[in-house]
Structure 1
Amino acid sequence: MSVKCISTPSLSIIVPAFNASRTIVECLESIFSIQQILVETIVVNDGSTDDTLDKIRSVTPPALHSLIVISTPNQGVSNARNTGLKSAQGEIVAFVDSDDTIASTDFLDFYYHFSKSNCDVAIGGIKIKFATKNIELRQIPQSLSNIVTTGEDAFNILHRTETFTPLVFAYLWKKRFITQHKLQFQFKMSEDDLWTTTAICQAHSFLFTNHVHYNYVKRKQSLTGSNKASQLRQSCHYAVASELSSFVTYQNLLIKTKGWIACKILYLVCDVLDTAAALQTTATIPIEICNSAKYYIVNSQDVQLQRIGFIYLYRIKQFVKQGVGLLV
């Protein structure tokens, strides 16, 4: 571990990095352009085999910034983020991927807006850059900006308005909230979906904002992009579906919230079966996962939610008929 220290930071930014030599300098420079507040950037070098570590050390943090570098064996993004969280000292936590950048002025505005609230979580806007050079802006409707709700209500509103994003870097998080609920990342794929779903639903208060603070580069060679049909994708999505099924079973949530999570579970089951079809194998799914999800969807009394859920249930039925899926 290498450290350049400052006083207790206001903000901790966690950056997992694996073979990120081509992008890590631009990423760090965008973070170091944040002014006026004390920022610690924790880079977890996740077993890189290129010169990522040299590139990190070539960047000198400016005044008000500290850079902490932790090198670990390669264990994946979830373990890297968890390692960063253990070291984080800031009141507020942000996650930045090593091949992305932040919009420093909007990020600072987002930080101030959130820090002045007593909320556990806040959502901002992200700019998605595709390999085709197309750009998509993902943010909440203007009518929601500055509204504070419970996390559970926020989760339902985001789904009803079709503006929910599972991407963890779209949000800012209070460290005390993360610690209180012992939040941890799990698995090598869809870790964001599991984290954001379970974390937001447990939040006492949630702040909606429209600050477009993050530049997300959608790359074909990313872990998700390069695993469109793989056993890794299949196993991770099945594991996330199972974790979410346990979460809705044991967590005291509104039936509508459980219904939206059930839709997410069925989506993941469909992806497991779709991957099985691509791999020319058969995926075995516990029928209880599908039945419990169906129960929450039917009893939600939300027509929009039911329409989405029934589409996934129909797809699963078709997969079973084709011999791709086996419900046991």
Structure 2
Amino acid sequence: MDNIKVSTIVPVYNSEEYIGGTLDSIINQDFNGFEIIVIDDGSTDNSLEIIREKLSKSTVPHQIIHQENQGVSRARNRGIEEAQGEYLVFVDSDDYITGNHLSELYNGETDFSLIQFIKREANKSSTPNYISKRLMSCQDLIKMELNMQMPFNFWQLMYKASIINENSIRFNPDYIYGEDIEFALKALSFGGEVAINNEVTYYYIQHDDSAIKTSEYRRFEIVEIFENLAEFYKNQGKDDLADLITTSRIPKAIFGNMNYFFYNDYDFDEVIAKMKELDLFEKLSRYEGDSKFKYKIRAFLLNPKIYYKTWKKFKNSID
């Protein structure tokens, strides 16, 4: 397979309802010079049969890899190892992309490029987070994410394959929540510039049975991931990024996930017990940033029960 500009990596596990549409959206790109790498991670439904049928009728270069179930991170890592493209993109098996996804991302010059996405859940759709700049340093994009001024998802990016491979960047299979943003933030730290495109070309579909929906308190794993990332940045001599993680990103992740549990009616005492077990109160108190958010954290730390009751009353008033 010569002249492969982009490798599109698709991990699959029991996605027979969606994988056909996902592959159609990838096959029908208005872009030449790409390959499709599908890693079937031990599916027990008809996913593999659908994959073979779809790709056998396509003229797009492709690889179908079948392995025993090892998890999505190892499946993506296998795709990286098999990829022959100059750049890498990732598409989840229940999402879909528009026909210009690759052409909007690819420029052959910058280390990374980024497009917009829409998240669809039930009858709701998110609003894209448009950016005024067309070119940004990787360092600035990392800082914006750590300050949550512009949080993004890893599949919004196109990655230069040489950066990923020369620096041994891989998805961490020990985690099921947050391993993808760790991958992106590590990769970006080795890059120069990111091309920014405000075209919406990726549609992220949130299903009730997704890993995030069923992970329960493992959502708090994101704290450990960011602690590891802070150490990673320190080893690179990027203490400013490590400090941002401690004083901004981790507290916001804790508070956001805590409120997620409250919003979804998790037991208050269980949430608090889990936070104490993971020493999240102390880590939450390290927040340094805007006064409004700092006030919310202080109010919670002063009396979690009163904060919860007030929050619950407010939530019920707007439901």
Q: Provide, for residues 186-207 of structure 1, a one-character-per-residue CA deviation record: whole Å limited to 9, x for no partner.
A: 1222112222233223322222
Is 2:161 aligned against 1:178? no
Once the two structures are superposed, the pairs formed by residues 90-109 of structure 1 within 5 Å of their partners are 90-105=85-100, 107-109=101-103
Corresponding residue for residue 290 of structure 1: 283
Cα 1:13–1:188, aligned 2, differ >3 Å: closer, same or farther?
same
Is 2:77 aligned against 1:82? yes
Corresponding residue for residue 135 of structure 1: 125
**Separation in 2, partners of 1:309, 1:196:** 28
Is 2:251 aligned against 1:266? yes
Corresponding residue for residue 326 of structure 1: none
Once the two structures are superposed, the pairs formed by residues 227-238 of structure 1 within 5 Å of their partners are 227=215, 229-230=216-217, 232-234=218-220, 236-238=221-223
Is residue 146–residue 249 contact of structure 2 (8 Å, CA) maintained in 1? no
- Identity over aligned residues, as a percent? 21
Query: What letter corresponds to residue 206 of structure 2 in structure 1?
Result: K
Is 2:225 aligned against 1:240? yes
Once the two structures are superposed, the pairs formed by residues 250-261 of structure 1 within 5 Å of their partners are 250-253=235-238, 255=240, 258-259=243-244
**Structure 1: tracts of 5 or more residues without a match:** 1-5, 323-328
Cα 1:78–1:137, aligned 2, differ >3 Å: closer, same or farther?
same
* SS across alignment from 2:168: coil
Q: Provide, for residues 207-251 of structure 1, a one-character-per-residue CA deviation record: whole Å limited to 9, x for no partner.
A: 222121211112121110123x34x444x3343133133234433
**Separation in 2, partners of 1:85, 1:310:** 44
Cα 1:318–1:172, aligned 2, differ >3 Å: closer, same or farther?
farther
Is 2:115 aligned against 1:120? no
Is residue 39–residue 67 contact of structure 2 (8 Å, CA) maintained in 1? yes
Is residue 92–residue 175 contact of structure 1 (8 Å, CA) maintained in 2? yes
Query: What letter corresponds to residue 136 of structure 1 in structure 2?
Result: S
Corresponding residue for residue 169 of structure 1: 155
Q: CA deviation at 1:160?
A: 6.2
Query: What TM-score results when the alignment is normalised by the length of structure 1?
Result: 0.78
**Separation in 2, partners of 1:308, 1:257:** 20
Corresponding residue for residue 216 of structure 1: 204
Corresponding residue for residue 3 of structure 1: none
Moved more, 310-319 or 6-15: 310-319
Q: CA deviation at 1:103?
A: 0.4
Is 2:62 aligned against 1:67? yes
Q: CA deviation at 1:260?
A: 5.2
**Separation in 2, partners of 1:72, 1:310:** 50
